[in-house]
Amino acid sequence: MQISEDTPCVQCGYNLRGLTQDKSCPECGTPIARSVLGDQLRYADPQWLERLRFGTSLKLWNILIAIVIGAVAAIIGGLGLPQALVELLALVGAGLGLWAAFLITTPEPRVLMREDPINLRKLVRACAVASVLGQFSSHAQRTAAADIRVVLTIVAGVLAVAGVVQMFGELVYYRRFAHRIPDARLQKSTTIVLWGLPSAFAALLIGGAIVKGVAILVGAGIGASSGPGGPPLGRAAVAGGVPFVCAGVVAVLVFGLWYIRLLTSYRKAFEEAAADARQFGAPPTAAR
């Protein structure tokens, strides 16, 4: 049967229109039958699926590293060991996170051909880079001179928003894969975490910004003489910022655990789809 519509090859993206289904792709030799089966993941390119699986694994490792950094930082803070070790671990974590984001947003061969110039995939990548730059400014501001420190703190704060956008975008991106597994429950679950987790981080950021902002004002001499009761401005910061921070911490824990479970489900789905795709797409060596 001849293919009458634009149909990109699942492997290389070559347009198969006008060819017949019993042949192989003239560009890469993948059986054409594989490219006309719809967009379920198990009919996709196995190498691409393998990247999605590896990227998701890296994300899970990165979360583990972040938890270790937190624990190590607490211990080092207590023992008075060098701060450099924490900085190094944070650097490794940021690098892994960036790598994972790029792996997960690897373009699918058959989609690349007709991709929009601005899309979710590229937005996630841009936000991932901005987020890492934000983490660097956040580290740099600790050792910077006072006047540069304010600028770096603001830059870090703005770029932290990019991190939240990245997380949101990534989950929208993952949800598309749930649709292609297909797994309606995973899709629904992703929608809940999609709104819950960034909201939780936003609450933390807002709370932190209120407390930090007022602390800077107090430090600059406005509403000085902070005693045990604190100046009116200081009390306002506590009243305004702390509830945000507390609600944020609880929500981040709940949605964070849920997020880890989602990632585990996706990793398993990618692994299974890749195994199916490899079996299905194994080129019949005698056919070419």
> CA–CA separation, 33 vs 213, rounded Å?
61
Return the residue of 8, 14, 196, 270 that touches Zn ion, per CB under 5 A: 14
Residue 27 or 257 having the CB closest to Zn ion: 27
* Contact flag: residue 9 with Zn ion (CB under 5 A): yes
> CA–CA separation, 196 vs 248, rounded Å?
10
Q: To the nearest whole angstrom, how small is the minimum distance from the Cβ of residue 114 to Zn ion?
A: 15
Residue 11 or 131 having the CB closest to Zn ion: 11
Please give the residues from 188 up to 207 whose contact with Zn ion meets the rule CB under 5 A.
none
* Residue pair 127/169 in contact by the 8 Å Cβ criterion: yes
Total residues in contact with Zn ion, by rule CB under 5 A: 8
CA distance readout (Å), 18 to 9, 21, 25, 79, 268: 13, 10, 12, 71, 37
* Contact flag: residue 25 with Zn ion (CB under 5 A): yes
* Contact flag: residue 16 with Zn ion (CB under 5 A): no
Residue 43 or 259 having the CB closest to Zn ion: 43
Return the residue of 11, 62, 190, 265 that touches Zn ion, per CB under 5 A: 11
- What is the residue whose two structure tokens read 């990548």? 125
Q: Which of 24-32, 37-45, 64-72, 152-160 is the region at the interface with Zn ion (rule: CB under 5 A)?
A: 24-32
* Contact flag: residue 27 with Zn ion (CB under 5 A): yes
* Residue pair 52/177 in contact by the 8 Å Cβ criterion: yes
Q: To the nearest whole angstrom, how small is the minimum distance from the Cβ of residue 106 to Zn ion?
A: 17
* Contact flag: residue 28 with Zn ion (CB under 5 A): yes
> CA–CA separation, 135 vs 139, rounded Å?
6
* Contact flag: residue 111 with Zn ion (CB under 5 A): no
* Residue pair 127/165 in contact by the 8 Å Cβ criterion: yes
Q: For the packed helices 232-281 and 184-219, what is the interaxial angle rounded to 10 degrees?
A: 150
Binding footprint of Zn ion on the chain (CB under 5 A): 9, 11-12, 14, 25, 27-28, 30
